[in-house]
Amino acid sequence: MTVRVARPADETAIESMQSLVSHPSPELFDAWPAVGTLLVSVDDDDQPVGYVLGVGTHLAELAVSPDARREGRATALVEAYHDRHPGSSLTLLVHPENEGARACYDALGFRHDDRIGGAFDGEDAIRLVRSTDCV
């Protein structure tokens, strides 16, 4: 399984997958080359089927196409992102009612850290942390 840095030619595929994210950050996606890191998991034809978008050690978005789920792509994306920030804990926000995402993040070693009021358009979020001792 290949994870690589996103390229401008990947934008259409990534924008399509961004619809899978419950609270996307299109403005961050538009600014990613300057302010963030965008990694993609690609299929055998080098087409993106998953991505992680982050700033520093905070993961803003993680998505995998439904046809490519249960293949370890989310794990590979998080591991590749962590490799870019060795020795650091990773954080992310998830909606409290997003059971699927919470189960995925739990399996990836993220743990509940705090509840953040109004983080998602006035709705609360749960901040999850994956400490360095999980890797």
User: What are the residue boundaries of the structural domains of the chain, listed by start?
Assistant: 2-134
pLDDT attached to residue 133: 60
AA identity, residue 105? Y
Asked whether the predicted pLDDT for residue 134 surpasses 60, the reply is no
pLDDT tens sequence across 24-79 = 888 888 888 878 899 999 999 999 999 999 999 999 999 999 999 989 999 999 99
The 10 Å Cβ neighbour count of residue 9 is 10
- CATH architecture, domain defined by 2-134: 3-Layer(aba) Sandwich (3.40)
Asked whether the predicted pLDDT for residue 132 surpasses 80, the reply is no
pLDDT attached to residue 91: 94
Which has the higher per-residue pLDDT, 120 or 39?
39
User: Can you give 55-93 as a three-state secondary structure string?
Assistant: ECCEEEEEEECHHHCCCCHHHHHHHHHHHCCCCCCEEEE
The helix-helix angle for 26-35 and 11-18 (nearest 10°) equals 140
- Alpha-carbon dihedral sign for residues 22, 117, 106, 99: negative
The Cβ-side half-sphere exposure at 114, using a 13 Å CA radius, reads: 6
pLDDT attached to residue 59: 93
How far apart, in whole angstroms, are the C-alpha atoms of residue 16 and residue 45? 17
pLDDT attached to residue 100: 84
Asked whether the predicted pLDDT for residue 135 surpasses 70, the reply is no
